[in-house]
Amino acid sequence: MKKGIFIFVLSLTLSIFVSAAEAEKTSVPPATTMSINGVIADLDTAETLAGVLVKIEGTDYVTLTNLDGKFSFKGLQEGDYNLELSYISYEEVKVENIKAQNETQSLDLKLKSE
């Protein structure tokens, strides 16, 4: 029970910081229409994970998964991206060479608990 409350409070705190950071970003030119979307779940149980920190390496793009384990980055330029995933009590994961070439790249990712 205490672990669940701690995770909830941590997720809420992180979402406030992420919202503040996103508000400070400069706008992306309208010509860039690529996006990366995904769902993150537990490897063993397949339950979606809310509050996973998802970052595009080398950029200021950071977000948290929602209550359904979904995340989205919009307004990306065409290219290859590396995602860094971190969540309390789970192994950190780096997903490399995500190609943003079509309008939307969708991912189904799994995290392994420690």
pLDDT tens digits for 75-87? 888 889 999 999 9
pTM (two decimals): 0.70
Sheet containing 79-86: which strands, arranged edge to edge? 62-64, 53-56, 79-86, 93-100
H-helix or E-strand spanning residue 72: strand 70-76
The partner residues of 84 in beta bridges, in order of sequence, read 55, 94
Residues 8-32 have pLDDT tens digits of 555 655 565 555 555 455 555 455 5
Domains in the chain, CATH or no CATH each: 2-111 (2.60.40.1120)
Structure tokens that stand for 55 in this block? 């970052």
Other residues' Cβ atoms within 10 Å of the Cβ of residue 61? 19
Report the percent of the chain where pLDDT is more than 90: 57
